[in-house]
C-alpha cells in the first residue's frame, strides 16, 4: 500500500507542472499584446515596454519559464506591477479571511448537506425527498451573489441580526469572528450543499439496497443506526470525493462572496488585481488556489486509502 501512496503522491507532480505551464503560458497564448492590454489605454510606449520587461515578455519563452519555475520553487511568485510588493507577501496578508471563510463554509455545508441527503434517501419519493431535491436544483441555479445580496438585505439590513459587511480577525475573539462569517458562509455554501446533498442521496440509495443493510435490519438495528452507522459509512467514499472536488466551487464562489461582503481576502485581492490588470498577482493567486485544490484532493484520496480496507491497490 505504501507503494501506492508514493505513486499517488508522485502522480500529482505532473498535474501541478501542467497547471504551472498552463498558467504561465497564458501570457503568451493571449491574443494581441498582453503588455499593451495590461498597461491600459492611456499608457505611453515606455509604460508598455516597462511592463513587457517586468513580465519577461522580451526574453525567450523557455528561458523565462525556467526562471519562473525556479523562483516559484523558492516561494517567489513575482512582483506586483501595481504595488511593487512581492506577490507572496500580498497573498500572505490576505490569506486568513479566505481560509476562515472556507473552513466555516466547509463545516457548515457538510454538516447540513450530508444529513439532508441521508434523510432524502431514507424517505425516497416523499415530500421531504422532493424538497431536498428541489433545494438542490435551486442551489445550482441561484448564483452566489444573488444569495449573498438576499441574505445581507434580509438578515443584516432589515433584521439587523448580523453585520452587513466586513471581517474581524480570529485573534479578536471567536464571537466577532464568526458573526461576520455567518452570512457569507451560508451564501457561499449554497451550491456546495446542493452538490453534496445530491451525491449523498444517490450513494445512500444504492447502499440501502445492499444485503448487509437487510441483515442489519433483521438483527434489530434501529433506523438511525442503519442510516448513519451502516449505510453512511459505506457511502463515504463518493461523498468525501465530491466534498473534495466541490472545493473548486468554494474557491470560485469566494471571489464573489468576498466582494459582496467586503471581506479583505484573496478573492478581493483577485478582483482588485483584475481592475488594475495586475497580472502577476492574478497568476500567483490562481497558482496557489490550484495547488491547494490538487493537494486537498490528494489528501482525501490518501485518507480513504488508509482508512477503507476495501480499497486495495
* Interface residues toward another protein, by CB under 8 A: 14-19, 21-23, 26-27, 30-32, 34, 37-38, 137-138, 140-146, 149, 153, 157, 164, 198-199, 202, 248-249, 251-253, 255-256, 259-260, 270-271, 273-275, 277, 279, 282-283, 285-286, 289-290, 293-294
Give the nearer residue to another protein in terms of CB position, either 110 or 195.
195
Q: Which DSSP symbol is given to 172? A: G
Burial class (CB in 10 A: 0-12, 13-18, 19+), 80: buried
Query: Cα–Cα–Cα angle for 102, 242, 25, nearest 5°?
Result: 70
Least distance in angstroms from the C-beta of 28 to another protein: 10
Measure CA 231 to chain center: 28
Give the nearer residue to another protein in terms of CB position, either 133 or 216.
133
Compute the distance between CA of residue 185 and CA of residue 104 in angstroms, rounded to an integer. 6
Least distance in angstroms from the C-beta of 155 to another protein: 13
Cell numbers describing residue 63: 528561458
Residue 212, number of CB atoms within 10 A of its CB = 12
Least distance in angstroms from the C-beta of 300 to another protein: 14
Give the nearer residue to another protein in terms of CB position, either 252 or 264.
252
Least distance in angstroms from the C-beta of 221 to another protein: 26
Residue 189 contacts residue 108 (beta carbons within 8 Å): yes
Cell numbers describing residue 110: 457538510
Q: Which DSSP symbol is given to 276? A: T
Give the nearer residue to another protein in terms of CB position, either 182 or 286.
286
Least distance in angstroms from the C-beta of 224 to another protein: 25
The CA radius of gyration of the chain, in Å to the nearest whole number, is 23
Give the nearer residue to another protein in terms of CB position, either 195 or 227.
195
Query: Cα–Cα–Cα angle for 36, 94, 290, nearest 5°?
Result: 70
Least distance in angstroms from the C-beta of 135 to another protein: 12
Residue 119 contacts residue 228 (beta carbons within 8 Å): no
Least distance in angstroms from the C-beta of 94 to another protein: 15
Give the nearer residue to another protein in terms of CB position, either 170 or 291.
291
> If we measure between CA atoms, which residue out of 132, 107, 305, 111 comes closest to residue 202?
132
The torsion region of residue 30 among left (phi > 0), alpha (psi -120 to 50) and beta comes to beta
Give the nearer residue to another protein in terms of CB position, either 199 or 263.
199
Amino acid at each position: 500500500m505504501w507503494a501506492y501512496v508514493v505513486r499517488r503522491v508522485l502522480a500529482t507532480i505532473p498535474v501541478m507542472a501542467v497547471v504551472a505551464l498552463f498558467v504561465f503560458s497564458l501570457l503568451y497564448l493571449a491574443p494581441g499584446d498582453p503588455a499593451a492590454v495590461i498597461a491600459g489605454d492611456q499608457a505611453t510606449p515606455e509604460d508598455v515596454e516597462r511592463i513587457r520587461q517586468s513580465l519577461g515578455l522580451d526574453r525567450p519563452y523557455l528561458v523565462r519559464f525556467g526562471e519562473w519555475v525556479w523562483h516559484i520553487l523558492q516561494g517567489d511568485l513575482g512582483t506586483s506591477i501595481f504595488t511593487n510588493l512581492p506577490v507572496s507577501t500580498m497573498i500572505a496578508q490576505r490569506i486568513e479571511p479566505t481560509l476562515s471563510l472556507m473552513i466555516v463554509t466547509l463545516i457548515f455545508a457538510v454538516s447540513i448537506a450530508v444529513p439532508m441527503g441521508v434523510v432524502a434517501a431514507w424517505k425516497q419519493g416523499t415530500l421531504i425527498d422532493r424538497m431536498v431535491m428541489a433545494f438542490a436544483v435551486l442551489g445550482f441555479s441561484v448564483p452566489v451573489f444573488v444569495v449573498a445580496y438576499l441574505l445581507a438585505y434580509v438578515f443584516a439590513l432589515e433584521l439587523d441580526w448580523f453585520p452587513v459587511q466586513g471581517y474581524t480577525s480570529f485573534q479578536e475573539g471567536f464571537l466577532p469572528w464568526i458573526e461576520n462569517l455567518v452570512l457569507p458562509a451560508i451564501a457561499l455554501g449554497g451550491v456546495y450543499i446542493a452538490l453534496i446533498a445530491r451525491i449523498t442521496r444517490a450513494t445512500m440509495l444504492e447502499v440501502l439496497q445492499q444485503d448487509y443493510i437487510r441483515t442489519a435490519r433483521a438483527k434489530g438495528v434501529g433506523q438511525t443506526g442503519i442510516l448513519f452507522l451502516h449505510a453512511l459509512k459505506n457511502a463515504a467514499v463518493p461523498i468525501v470525493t465530491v466534498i473534495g472536488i466541490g472545493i473548486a466551487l468554494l474557491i470560485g464562489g469566494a471571489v464573489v462572496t468576498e466582494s459582496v461582503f467586503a471581506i479583505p481576502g484573496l478573492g478581493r485581492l483577485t478582483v482588485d488585481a483584475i481592475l488594475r490588470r495586475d497580472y502577476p498577482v492574478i497568476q500567483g493567486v490562481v497558482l496557489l488556489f490550484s495547488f491547494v485544490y490538487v493537494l486537498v484532493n490528494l489528501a482525501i484520496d490518501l485518507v480513504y486509502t488508509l482508512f477503507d480496507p476495501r480499497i486495495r491497490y
